[in-house]
Amino acid sequence: MDLPTPPWQRTPRRRAVKQPLSQDLVVRAGLDILAKEGIDAVSMRRVAQALDTGPASLYAHVSNKDELDELMFDRILAGVEVPEPDPARWRDQIKELLQAQVQAMLAYPGIAKVAWRTMMIPVGPNALRQGEAQLALLRAGGLSARHAAYASDALSTYAKAFAYEGNAWAWGEVPAAELAERGKQMSDYLRSLPAGTFPNLLETMGMFNGDNASERFVFALDAFLNGLGAASA
């Protein structure tokens, strides 16, 4: 029969059973670091530490940091739902899709850098799914394959650039104090010039801030999609 451990002996501690290492586990560990600390904090060494293993063991599942970045980006896109194209709502549908993509990128600081780096070629199944969805929605709006391809490229570029800028603001890549000071210097300088020198710059320079970012994004999408609608009519 089993006896209790004598008081002069140390009670053996049960070690937690480690989950077998896999690509999925590596990507999830990378995303945890990314969400909390940003893309620059994600490294093979940091991910290995989070998984209580050595960096060399990761390379059986992920070739290098670039591939890890791409896998994380594709995993993030998995959460963006793809609509069934409706010719009566194609403009609203593509706006909703792009807004969801931007929100997904904004939730992970710095991932838009990866999106920007890989924007010429979809890098995974979820990126391919997003690209196919954009083209399908544009074709539902009456665009030819060529014009849909050009439009999808322009829309994707804008969405990724917008997310890149939003990440930079939200996570301190852009020094807010320095920009505020530069903005004040610019405003003071323009106001010091003879009246009427740069009237439009003076009127609009205060219109760019985080409070109206979503409004600006939707305005640009509407302007672009309205033009596409007129061209395909």
Q: What is the pLDDT of residue 180?
A: 82
The pTM score is: 0.82
Q: Which two tokens stand for residue 215?
A: 């409004």
CA distance 126 to 134: 12
List pLDDT tens digits, range 170-220: 776 767 788 788 888 998 999 999 999 999 999 998 888 777 888 999 999
For residue 121, what pLDDT band results from cuts at 50, 70 and 90? low
With beta carbons less than 8 A apart as the criterion, state whether 62 and 14 touch.
no
pLDDT of residue 3: 67
pLDDT score of 30 more than 90: yes
- Mean pLDDT to the nearest integer, 156-168: 89
pLDDT at residue 233 greater than cutoff 70: no
pLDDT at 44: 95
Reduce the secondary structure of 78-102 to three states and give it as a string: CCCCCCCCCCCCHHHHHHHHHHHHH
Is the pLDDT score of 118 beyond 80?
Answer: no
Least confident of 22-36, 136-150, 202-216: 202-216
Which residues lie below 8 Å from residue 158, measured CB to CB, with a gap of 6+? Answer: 220, 221, 224
**51-83 confidence digits (pLDDT tens):** 999 999 999 999 999 999 999 999 999 999 999
Domains of the chain by start residue, with CATH: 23-62 (1.10.10.60), 81-232 (1.10.357.10)
12 neighbors 23 (Cβ within 8 angstroms): no
Which contiguous run of DSSP H or E holds residue 167?
helix 145-170
The pLDDT score that the predictor gives to residue 14 is 63
- Other C-beta atoms closer than 10 Å to the C-beta of 32 total 13
